[in-house]
Amino acid sequence: MSVEKRTGRFDSPHPPRLPVRGFIFDLDGTLVDSRLDFDAICREMGLPEGEPILEALERMEPTHARHCYRILDRYEREGAERAVLLPGVPELLEHLNRLRLRQAVVTRNSRAMAERMLSRCGLDFDPVVTRDDGPVKPDPWAIHCICRPWGIPPQCVVVIGDFRFDIEAGRRAGAITVFLGGRRAVERQPGAEQADFRFDSLQQADRLLRTLGLPIIPYHPSRESTRNFR
Ligand SMILES: [Mg+2]
């Protein structure tokens, strides 16, 4: 029976192909919140608000690009220092550990900032693929890069993120995609309609796991390890 038929509440254009064997998370806005103000970054760089920043930097002439990279670096550094774990994340990760499901992070952040955010929030993933490693989302390169050594086809991996590029990368790789709305109404955000599933946040982890056909196990934080399954 398909997931949609079982839950009766999802109208997905891309039904998932089970069984799920791994999760690839976006970092900022998905696992942690650094309150990065992308519109402020664009304004300071002289870019239109909403412009994808990394792609704009690629098109700039080198001197201006260096100036703008310094702006981005300052914002990201400040963001990394105030990053906090988002609600529902520890419970979900612990669940995935006990189900022995692989977990990785793919971010458009730099490696230095990604590692700072993860360690500040007590998270430990391997691999963490950043913009320093290769083509960034929406390119599916990082997803293939993770799935290959795992020996798991992307069709059995869930890609979760809060931005249209997360979903686009996941879809292009052939993965199951989950869009998180965060503080904004999920259905009004660009890219959300392309995802297999949409949730407000990982606080709805039980619903997410049920939707993906994964078992729910009661959570006892005091007894659990914090290390993610690799
Ligand atoms: Mg994000």
Q: What is the pLDDT of residue 229?
A: 53
- Please tell me the distance between residue 180's alpha carbon and the centre of ligand 1 in angstroms: 9
- Please tell me the distance between residue 144's alpha carbon and the centre of ligand 1 in angstroms: 19
pTM for the complete prediction? 0.86
Q: pLDDT tens for residues 146-159? A: 999 999 999 999 99
- Please tell me the distance between residue 152's alpha carbon and the centre of ligand 1 in angstroms: 24
Interval 156-185 mean pLDDT: 94
- Please tell me the distance between residue 223's alpha carbon and the centre of ligand 1 in angstroms: 30
Q: pLDDT tens for residues 100-136? A: 999 999 999 999 999 999 999 999 999 999 999 999 9
- Please tell me the distance between residue 1's alpha carbon and the centre of ligand 1 in angstroms: 32
- Please tell me the distance between residue 34's alpha carbon and the centre of ligand 1 in angstroms: 10
Residue 7 has pLDDT above 50, yes or no: no
- Please tell me the distance between residue 29's alpha carbon and the centre of ligand 1 in angstroms: 4
Topology of domain 3-33+85-219, per CATH?
Rossmann fold (3.40.50)
DSSP letters for the chain: --HHHHHS----SS---SPP-EEEE-SBTTTEE----HHHHHHHHTPPTT--HHHHHHHS-HHHHHHHHHHHHHHHHHHHHH-EEPTTHHHHHHHHHHTT-EEEEE-SS-HHHHHHHHHHTT---S-EE-TTTSPPTTSTHHHHHHHHHHT--GGGEEEEESSHHHHHHHHHHT-EEEEE-TTS-GGGSTTGGGSSEEES-GGGHHHHHHHTTPPP----GGG---PPP-
Boundaries of every domain in the chain: 3-33+85-219, 38-82
Please provide the average confidence, as pLDDT, over all residues in the chain.
88
Interval 52-70 mean pLDDT: 95
Would you place residue 223 in the very low, low, confident or very high pLDDT band (cuts 50, 70, 90)? low
- Please tell me the distance between residue 15's alpha carbon and the centre of ligand 1 in angstroms: 23
Which has more confidence, 218 or 201?
A: 201
- Please tell me the distance between residue 66's alpha carbon and the centre of ligand 1 in angstroms: 24
